[in-house]
Structure formats: C-alpha cells, structure tokens
Amino acid sequence: MRRLAGEAGVKPMSLYHHFPRKSAILDAVGEKIAAAALGASPPHPYWQGRVRQLFMNLHALAEAHPRALPLVSAAVLRTPSGRRWMEELMGTLLGAGFSEDRAATVYHMLGAYTLGLGYARMLGDEVATADIVAQLVGHWADYPSMMQVGMRLAVWDRPGEFETGLDVLLAHLAGRPGGRA
C-alpha cells in the first residue's frame, strides 16, 4: 500500500478516504489492469483466433505487470472488465459448439498455461542466474542432463514460445469433440 500511495503522491492512509478497505483498493487496481485484457483489436471471426486474442492479451498483461499476477487472476471474476473478458471467452466457446463443461475445461487449461508461465517467469526473475550456478558448482556430475540443457532452463518465454504453445493447445482443442476447426 505504501508503494501504491507513493506512486499516487499521497500518504498510505489517505487511500482509505477513497476506498473502504484494502480489498477495494486491490480490486480497483485489478480493474485498471484487467481493462486491457479484451484488447483494442476487433474480435477475430473464428473461435480459435478470438480465443488466441484473449489469451495473448492476458499474456501481455502478465508480461507488463508480473507482480500483479494475483490481481489479474482474481480480476477475472471480481471486476467488471474481468467478467467482460470471461463473458467474451465463454460466448466464443459456446458459440463454437463447446459444451459448458468443455468451455470451463478450455478456460482452466489455457488460463493455467498463461498464468502459470507468468508466475514461472516472475519467480525466474527473482532468482539470480549467478545464484543458481553457485549452488550447482561441484554437482555437475550429479545432474548431467540438466547441466547439458544448462541456463536455457532459467529463461522463460523466449520469443515466440508462448504463442507456439498456445497454438498447439488450440489445435488440440479444435481436434476434440465440441471444438470445430
């Protein structure tokens, strides 16, 4: 709260003159962030393209605001913009012939992939590569396969990786019952 107040140019307690409790402040921040999740582009005409747009926008939010991932995660159901994002996703999936159960599964699968990668990257950013290397000195023989792959493991979401994974998941979903290509 102190950092938020500092960025707003006010004292921490003065935030509560505008919001009744901490959760209301966090919801307002979550709403501000979640508003970008629908994106400015016109909706893609095919379900796979539209779902891809929605999750690419969510991924962009995770990249832009990695420390706000808990707010972004909660904003899907707690804020008006988050609910509009979810409504757009569910409407797209139901309109494409997915059952209610399958639509929920798609959300859980793609949401876990998108936000999970965001959390992994955030944690990766907090652990210095030098610290990892220091812990492995003298243990090279214990972990030969891991050492062969090496520091590539510390880099999350190299250019194009998220998009490739999302496309693989969408292609898989299109080939299953309820997901027309």
pLDDT digit string, tens, across residues 66-101 = 888 887 777 777 888 889 999 999 999 999 999 999
- Is 147 in contact with 136 (CB distance < 8 Å)? yes
- Is 61 in contact with 72 (CB distance < 8 Å)? yes
Q: Is residue 160 helix, strand or coil?
A: coil
- pTM (2 d.p.): 0.79
Mean pLDDT of 171-181: 74
Measured from the Cβ of residue 177, the count of other Cβ atoms closer than 10 Å reads 9
Q: What is the chain's Cα-based Rg? A: 20
Residue 179 has pLDDT above 70, yes or no: no
- Is 171 in contact with 57 (CB distance < 8 Å)? no
Rounded Cα distance between 124 and 121, Å, is: 5
18 token code pair: 């505008």
Residue 180 has pLDDT above 70, yes or no: no
Sketch the domain layout of the chain as residue ranges: 2-174
pLDDT digit string, tens, across residues 23-82 = 777 777 777 777 888 888 888 999 999 999 999 999 988 888 888 888 777 777 788 888
Q: Does domain 2-174 have CATH number 1.10.357.10?
A: yes
Rounded Cα distance between 100 and 94, Å, is: 7
